[in-house]
Structure 1
Amino acid sequence: METLLEQPEQLLGALRHKLGSQAVLIGPEVPARNCNDRSGSMPERPIAVVRPLDAAAVAEAIAACRKARLPFVPQGGLTGLCRGAAPEPGWVAISLERMVGIEEIDRASGTMTVKAGTPLETIQKAADEAGFLFPLDLGSRGSCAIGGNLSTNAGGNRVIRYGMTRELVLGLEVVLPDGSIITNLNKLVKNNAGYDLKHLFIGSEGTLGIITRVVLRLFPKPRSTMSALCALKHYSAVIALLDAARSGLGPLLSAFEVMWPDYWEVITTRAGVRTPVGAGHGLYVLVEAQGTDESLDAPRFQSWLEDLMERGLLEDAAVAQSLAQTQQFWAVRDICAEFSQVLGPRIPYDIGLAVTRMDEFVTRCKAALTAGIRGCESVYYGHIGDGNLHLVAWVTGLTLERQPKPEMDAIVYGLVREMGGSVSAEHGIGTLKKQWLGHARNEAEIALMRTLKAALDPNHLLNPGKVI
């Protein structure tokens, strides 16, 4: 008689025979990369990793897991920060790492159809080579997968102009928890034929279905890019600059990144970043605009900045004179991706707040962390124009495991709740923020989420315990 332990092994062995030896890795064959995301939490080795090539193979993997009553978790580039794609002991990981490739670029409809495991940077480059822009952009662009971007409804640097990932998707192919394949690779911007089901899966963190193919919206490729690093005296000037950028630059405005003085101090003194604007200012803003005619756009951008300087809104500003300088300006903002090397073990936060209250939050949060946790430091930066603030907090000399994360969480998320914000602006909930979900969603909303989960996954095998 089979034991309960032997049955999963036999089912996984049969799945390997069906899909191929490279498609199913069992036990000690499981690579370390599939044991965790980038949350820094304790890695857990799944009992197997299935690496399908298409939706049919994903359905086969789900069927095997259902027969053995094995929980399973979808994985993409594993760049998440909340354990949304991390396995637990006894689980199977369904990794889309081999499900890569661009199937079609439709110039007439302005769309690109891709497999869900395709890295974001690959998509960006393919769009660029075809004369288009795919505007989603994240620091992890080289390793994150588009399916994971959809599952967390990623934001990134240009939300102020193009919106979240949700706004960049027209159609999906999804495998449901029962193995059913839903294929709706829609290319129509206008399609109100019943429920728009793709929105069930975008942002659901792999708890309602496994996205396998995507139809993405493409945009005209910018022919001009202008950027400036600006120094301002106080946050009210930042709000005034944002208003001036929206009214003066209009649809050209593509990014508005704000950095507080503590961030500036870290990148210049600890990370050794050379900046075209000196220290000693109240706040720093990176403004980017993209247009279609450099002969018109660049003078307009220059004139707009000069007017702001004459009005006294800016204390200092540096304007990029080339694409290379624009990239250097962005390096000032993107250096935060290297904070683990610069600062050592630290706890990152990703929150949403009303733009008008962000500086108040920074002041109160920094003071509360300093007063409440001995030796705690913190730095603040964010997209601001779309209401997204990032911060990292740490106690120097402590390992990641010894960082007082529960105390930090209570301070940060308690203040978020008090100020009517969101505990997650773009990184998701996973398991690490699950206990704080009620700080941003009410009981009725969470109950409806549970109803949807129970309807699609009554056996609770697809990424159980995540989000809700």
Structure 2
Amino acid sequence: MAYPPIVIALIEALGADVVSLRETIAGRRWADWSGEPADIPLALLRPRSTAQLSEAMSICTLYCQPVVVQGGLTGLAGGACTRASDVAISLERMTRICEVDPVSATLTAEAGATLESVQNAAAEAGLTFPFDLGARGSCTIGGNLATNAGGNRVIKYGMARDQVLGLEAVLANGDVIDSTHKMVKNNTGYDLRNLMIGSEGTLGIITRVVLRLRPPASAVATAWCGVGTYESVTGLLSLALRRLPTGVSAFEVMWPSFVDYMTTHVPDIRNPLDERHNFHVLMESVGTTEPEHQEVFQCFLEEALEEGLIENAALAQSKGDAAEFWRIRDSTAEFPVLMPDLIAFDVSFSIADIGRAAQECDAALRNTWPTSTVLTYGHLGDGNLHLIVQVPGADAATVDAVENLVYGIVRDYRGSVSAEHGIGSKKRDVLGHTRSVAELAAMRAIKAALDPHNILNPDKVLPA
């Protein structure tokens, strides 16, 4: 069988141990969770070191060969999907936890390490890596940073980029950027670290990271609140931030459509409050001393009740109670089974606008498609709104119409078409709803400077 010159060159330089041919990789999955199309690539590279990856990229540049980096394939924007003409790169062999430094409170890991392995290594050292996602067992830390992932606790700890002190990355031409320092303060010119984070593999390939660790929380208080108005929801958040000394670690808001659907369709979960409310808020706050923190949290809830910000609340009395509350919010993992043809949105607005924007989206969708199912929920503490839409019998034209409607409202409110899942191929045509012409031009200039042959994840992120 005749192989393309690029494949032959890669095998000669790196060996068959690193380079897998197309006919040997047909059984692998090549698409993420986005539903975007994917094909078996020309070859799969699985380097064991940054040096091997650097050599591979030098060769790919010489042949102007497009490459796509894949992590745990848990993305939702199509950023890791491959074409038949691509060479795929997996860092599944670069999974080492290189160092845990308890004095600096840092952890250094290779980019192929799973999020869960990072969390476990931090815990073994008596610290915690608070960044968390439901896909923790399979998503990789490199993928988390490449997409600047969010998660449930952004309100307290920030996005993925906020967990990083330094990183190492391989550029398109094989050059290696090594800024794996442990300093919080490093004000020395352009921040290449943050340029790589969130670039979805279009500017460079992250290979090693230095992560910030935190002291572990010894006390966790969790409550499920029923709230009457959106103004009361934002009032509850403001009160929590003022009254709780350690702030809020999660503030999840669910509209009745979401809670009713999940408690009806998912076995063994129930609404912690018997009565129906216009909004349901799952709150979490972490502290250092268990009895005192629980007392402060309970006093805060009593004050919120007295001020009329909440109508009722259930306070978790145990870790089991808290897990049951979170099961409702985390039941979104059932969507692929419950709604295999769903249309999902991950958008953001200013916190002040979310109530109106969500109501406008819901009304417009139900008026246009009366038989549709529309579920609304989100990490409201950081402005992130999720909409799940199902239109019975929807064809491609209907899907486009639904997306145009929702993204049009996002543009009207000057929101973001992607809050935490990136752009990939799925949202590149609507990136202009959020970014100005000047911003897009600057992005293209950066891409052209770092990847002049457009070989790093081409046709992703930037509009055509």
TM-score bracket, shorter-length normalisation: over 0.9
1:432 alignment partner, one of 398, 422, 426: 426
Q: For residues 10-42 of structure 1, what are the alpha-carbon distances to aligned partners after superposition, in whole Å with 9 as ceiling and x for unaligned?
A: 224324xx3442x22111212544421111122
Aligned counterparts of 2:309 and 2:49: Cα–Cα separation in 1: 54
| 1:129 corresponds to | 124
1:338 alignment partner, one of 334, 337, 348: 334
Aligned counterparts of 1:396 and 1:403: Cα–Cα separation in 2: 13
- Range moving further from structure 2, 199-208 or 305-314: 305-314
Q: How does 1:398-413 map to 2 (within 5 A)?
A: 404-413=398-407
Change (3 A) 1:228 1:89: same
Q: For residues 243-287 of structure 1, what are the alpha-carbon distances to aligned partners after superposition, in whole Å with 9 as ceiling and x for unaligned?
A: 111111143311100000100111111113223223521000000
| 1:291 corresponds to | 287
| 2:364 corresponds to | 368
Aligned counterparts of 1:19 and 1:223: Cα–Cα separation in 2: 49
CA contact (8 A) 1:258 1:383 kept: yes
Change (3 A) 1:208 1:11: same
Query: Is 1:464 aligned with 2:458?
Result: yes
Q: How does 1:10-409 map to 2 (within 5 A)?
A: 10-15=8-13, 18-21=14-17, 23-272=18-267, 273-373=269-369, 375-396=371-392, 404-409=398-403
**What is the aligned-residue RMSD (CA, Å)?**
1.7
Change (3 A) 1:31 1:227: farther
Aligned counterparts of 2:430 and 2:362: Cα–Cα separation in 1: 20
Aligned counterparts of 1:432 and 1:278: Cα–Cα separation in 2: 40
| 1:8 corresponds to | 6
- Range moving further from structure 2, 142-151 or 361-370: 361-370
Deviation at 1:360, TM superposition (A): 1.1
Aligned counterparts of 1:59 and 1:9: Cα–Cα separation in 2: 16
CA contact (8 A) 2:165 2:210 kept: yes
- Range moving further from structure 2, 269-278 or 317-326: 269-278
CA contact (8 A) 2:171 2:203 kept: yes
Aligned counterparts of 1:47 and 1:197: Cα–Cα separation in 2: 31
Aligned counterparts of 1:90 and 1:303: Cα–Cα separation in 2: 61
SS of alignment partner, residue 214 of structure 1:
strand
CA contact (8 A) 1:115 1:214 kept: yes
SS of alignment partner, residue 39 of structure 2:
coil
Aligned counterparts of 1:433 and 1:402: Cα–Cα separation in 2: 15
CA contact (8 A) 1:134 1:217 kept: yes
TM-score (norm 1): 0.95
Deviation at 1:345, TM superposition (A): 1.9
CA contact (8 A) 1:259 1:284 kept: yes
SS of alignment partner, residue 219 of structure 1:
coil
Aligned counterparts of 2:169 and 2:454: Cα–Cα separation in 1: 17
Q: Which amino acid aligns with 1:8?
A: I
TM-score (norm 2): 0.96
| Residue segments in structure 1 that go unaligned for 5+ positions in a row | none
| Residue segments in structure 2 that go unaligned for 5+ positions in a row | none
Deviation at 1:397, TM superposition (A): 5.0
Change (3 A) 1:374 1:318: closer
Query: Is 1:418 aligned with 2:412?
Result: yes
SS of alignment partner, residue 133 of structure 1:
coil
Change (3 A) 1:253 1:213: same
Aligned counterparts of 2:439 and 2:61: Cα–Cα separation in 1: 29
Q: Which amino acid aligns with 1:101?
A: R
Change (3 A) 1:7 1:336: same
Deviation at 1:236, TM superposition (A): 1.2
Aligned counterparts of 2:422 and 2:245: Cα–Cα separation in 1: 30
- Range moving further from structure 2, 190-199 or 405-414: 190-199
Between the two proteins, what is the percent identity of the paired residues? 47
Aligned residues: 461
Aligned counterparts of 2:245 and 2:26: Cα–Cα separation in 1: 48
1:452 alignment partner, one of 443, 446, 458: 446
Q: Which amino acid aligns with 2:198?
A: G
Q: Which amino acid aligns with 2:433?
A: H
SS of alignment partner, residue 186 of structure 1:
coil
Q: For residues 116-135 of structure 1, what are the alpha-carbon distances to aligned partners after superposition, in whole Å with 9 as ceiling and x for unaligned?
A: 01111111122122111111
Aligned counterparts of 2:177 and 2:390: Cα–Cα separation in 1: 44
Deviation at 1:335, TM superposition (A): 0.8
Q: For residues 41-65 of structure 1, what are the alpha-carbon distances to aligned partners after superposition, in whole Å with 9 as ceiling and x for unaligned?
A: 2221111110111111111221232
Aligned counterparts of 1:160 and 1:198: Cα–Cα separation in 2: 22
Deviation at 1:324, TM superposition (A): 2.2
